[in-house]
Structure 1
Amino acid sequence: MKLKLIVAIAIAAATPALALASPSCTKEPQSKWLPEDAMKAKIEQMGYKVRTFEITGNCYEIYGKDKVGNRAEVYFNPVSGDIVQKGD
């Protein structure tokens, strides 16, 4: 019975971490990705103000502000530049 309780607690503790995992944005090699400068320009044309730009897994990810000034965390497909996932 104790083992079942320990397993249940471990699963419950791990669940929030799983929800925050970064998405899968592309399977293409980095040689096919948009250059970082071109991607940053595209993101700014979408109305985002980029504070931090980074590579997370197989995505470009930014932290900054959206068009109306709200906090934004956005994952982009590094090949097409499309938004894959948004958060705050």
Structure 2
Amino acid sequence: WDSVNAWRKVLAAYILTHDCLQQVGPVHLRATDKWVRRVGITLQLGWKERTDSQYLQTAILANQGDEDFFIQKAIGWALRDYSKVNPEWVR
């Protein structure tokens, strides 16, 4: 998972630079590979106020039924990160 998290940082920087979350992100959320979906769920880590809550909601709802530990951990990580900026939304 460490290499997956490193890839997420590179992809997230690209997405921020090119403002293409809506084009690139959903492709990751629909992937059959859990590691690609994990990247899609955690793409916005550290984005703070720039986090797109609609995308985050889509990422969570699309993957909440997956019982895989790393998918559930990614959802929790994304929620914990966004709760620092928007705790009401996360509640």
For Structure 1 versus Structure 2, the TM-score category normalised by the shorter chain is under 0.3
**Between structures 1 and 2, the one with greater helix share:** 2
Task: Please say which structure displays the higher CA radius of gyration.
Answer: 1
> What TM-score results when the alignment is normalised by the length of structure 2?
0.27
**Between structures 1 and 2, the one with greater strand share:** 1
